[in-house]
C-alpha cells in the first residue's frame, strides 16, 4: 500500500508556522523525494488523483497522500519542520515552480463548493 510505504520511509512532513503553531500543513513526498503534494488533513490534496477520483468522479473518498498523512499522524511517524510564514510561502512557491504541486485541484474544489 502506497500510503504505508510513504509513512515507513519518512516521507510525511508536518510544516508548522513558527509564530502561529495552530497553522500548519502537511507535505507528502514521492518515493524519490523529487515530487511533493500539500495536504490539508481530511480536506484537500493538490494531486491529480484527488482532483479526478475524489472531487470529479467521486470514486473514492481520499487519495493516498491524505491516507498517508492520517496514518503518520495517528502513529506519530512524521517529521516536523517549523518555519516562518515567509519561508513557508517561498517553499510553496518553489514547489509550484518546480512543477511538484498543482493548484488545479484546489481551484476545482473551490468551484464545486460554490
Check if the beta carbon of residue 24 is closer than 8 Å to that of residue 73.
no
Model confidence, pTM: 0.81
pLDDT confidence band for 19 (50 / 70 / 90): confident
- pLDDT for residue 106: 46
What's the gap between Cα 114 and its chain centre? 23
- pLDDT for residue 7: 98
Name beta bridge partners: 26: 14, 39
- pLDDT for residue 96: 73
Pairing of strands 79-83, 44-45: unpaired
Check if the beta carbon of residue 28 is closer than 8 Å to that of residue 11.
yes
Residue 57, φ and ψ in degrees, nearest 5: -85, -20
pLDDT in tens, 68-95: 999 999 999 999 999 998 988 888 887 7
Q: What is the mean pLDDT of residues 25-31?
A: 93
- pLDDT for residue 108: 45
Secondary structure in 3-state letters for the chain: CHHHHHHHCCCEEEEEECCEEEEEEEEEECCCCCCEEEEECCCEECCHHHHHHHHHCCCCCCCHHHHHHHHHHHHCCCEEEEECHHHHHHHHHHHHHCCCCCCHHHHHHHHHHC
Amino acid at each position: 500500500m502506497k500510503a504505508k510505504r510513504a509513512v515507513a520511509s519518512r516521507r510525511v512532513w508536518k510544516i508548522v508556522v513558527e509564530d502561529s503553531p495552530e497553522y500548519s500543513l502537511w507535505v507528502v513526498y514521492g518515493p524519490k523525494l523529487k515530487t511533493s503534494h500539500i495536504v490539508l488533513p481530511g480536506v484537500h490534496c493538490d494531486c491529480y488523483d484527488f482532483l479526478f477520483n475524489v472531487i470529479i468522479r467521486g470514486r473514492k473518498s481520499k487519495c493516498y497522500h491524505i491516507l498517508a498523512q492520517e496514518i503518520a499522524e495517528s502513529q506519530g511517524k512524521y517529521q516536523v519542520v517549523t518555519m516562518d510564514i515567509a519561508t513557508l510561502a517561498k517553499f510553496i512557491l518553489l514547489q509550484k515552480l518546480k512543477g511538484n504541486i498543482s493548484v488545479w485541484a484546489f481551484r476545482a474544489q473551490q468551484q464545486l463548493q460554490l
